[in-house]
Structure formats: C-alpha cells, structure tokens
Amino acid sequence: MQDPRSSSTLEEHIMSTTLFEKIIAREIPADIVFEDDSVLAFRDINPQAPTHVLIIPKKVIPRVGEAQEEDQLLLGYLLLKAGEVARKLNLENGFRLVINNGRDGGETVPHLHCHLLGGRSLEWPPG
C-alpha cells in the first residue's frame, strides 16, 4: 500500500481535482454570490444569459446520475438554495435551472452543478 503522503499520490489527487473543487478550496478565484457549509454559488465565466450562476454542492458528486440515497437531503437542499439565490438576484420574472449529466447531456465538469439562468426570456426547447 502506498503512503498517502507520497508525491505520486499527491500528484494523482491534484490531477483528479476538478475545477469546482479548486474553486471551493479558493485555489481558483470565482465571483461568489452565495456560500454556506454545504453549497457554493458563483457566476459562470461563460454566461449564456444575463444572469448565469452555477450552484454546486461542496460534497463531490460527479453527476446527478451517480447520486446515492445518502445524497437525498443534499440534493433537495441544493434546489432550495437555487431558489434562494434566484430571489437574491432579483429573478422574479422567472429563471431556469439546468443540470447536465454526461457528455451527451452537455456536462463539462464532473461535479454535480445546477445552472441558474435568468434575466431574459428563455426559449424552449433549450437546444
């Protein structure tokens, strides 16, 4: 068994750390709009609407399709906080929540996240 403090284990951890984990750890800056012990919300760097915020659990869940029974409360909490963030950002005319799952679903970071989109009329189907 390899010592978890060895450099190769550390290198493997650094390589497997997602962009969102680095934002949570403050290794990468982000425009944070909400944070508590369980959830972090920050503005998307490539916004698809006037308001585009990513809301992520601090616990790493790669994607919603891999969530476990034990994640049930956290998933509900994530949606409640999405509504709270939308109210805070004055999206009273409406907003959209999007959760991508897998490559064909548009997922680019393997860390569960909700896209909160608003500030304009959103078309359907989304594309």
**Within-domain flag for 19:** no
User: Sign of the C-alpha dihedral, residues 66, 44, 15, 81?
Assistant: negative
Cis link prior to 125 (omega < 30° from 0)?
yes
Domain membership of residue 36 (yes or no) is: yes
| DSSP assigned state of 5 | T
Q: Is residue 22 part of a domain?
A: no
Instruction: Please give the pLDDT value at position 72.
Output: 97
125 domain residue, yes or no: no
Which CATH number do you get for residue 37? 3.30.428.10
pLDDT at residue 26 greater than cutoff 60? yes
- The 10s digit of each residue's pLDDT in 63-94 is 999 999 999 999 999 999 999 999 999 999 99
The whole-number pLDDT of residue 103 equals 92
Say what percent of the chain tops pLDDT 70. Answer: 87
* CA angle, 31 then 45 then 35, to 5°: 30
Number of compact structural domains in the chain: 1
Residues taking part in catalysis:
113
pLDDT at 7: 43
Domain extent at residue 71: 31-118
Cα–Cα distance for residue pair 6/10, rounded to 1 Å: 6
pLDDT at 125: 85
Please indicate, yes or no, if residue 26 is contained in any of the structural domains: no
The reported pTM is 0.85
Would you say residue 10 lies in a domain?
A: no
Count other C-beta atoms under 10 Å from residue 105's C-beta: 12
**What confidence score (pLDDT) does residue 96 get?**
97
- Nearest CA to 36 out of 70, 72, 80 is that of 80
Of 75 and 11, the one with more pLDDT: 75
